[in-house]
Amino acid sequence: MCLVVPLKIESKLRPGKYKMETGRIVKSLVKNVRVGDYLICQQDLGIEKVSKNKAQLIRDALRQGI
């Protein structure tokens, strides 16, 4: 089983590489993302862009253990 976590992009390091709010460096497989966007991240890869609302719903579910 894989755990995917939505993280907010804090800064762009170079094309395709971003520093996330947790300090992790993530390579985005998603095009057209910018600082402030949320990515679903699996290990060190950004695999899907999600809205702020969806990211919050996922985070809340993870905190509650659902």
3-state secondary structure of 37: coil
Amino acid at 11: S
CB atoms inside a 10 Å sphere around CB 63: 8
Expressed in angstroms, the distance from the first to the final Cα of the chain is 14
The count of structural domains within the chain is 1
Domain that holds residue 37: 5-64
Scan for tokens 């966007």, then name that residue: 37
Q: How far apart are CA 56 and CA 62, in angstroms?
A: 10
List the pLDDT tens digit at each of the 66 positions of the chain: 677 889 999 999 999 999 999 999 999 999 999 999 999 998 899 999 999 999 999 999 988 886
Q: How far apart are CA 48 and CA 32, in angstroms?
A: 11
pTM above 0.85, yes or no: yes
> What token pair was written down for 60?
């809340």
Residue 51's CATH number? 2.30.30.140
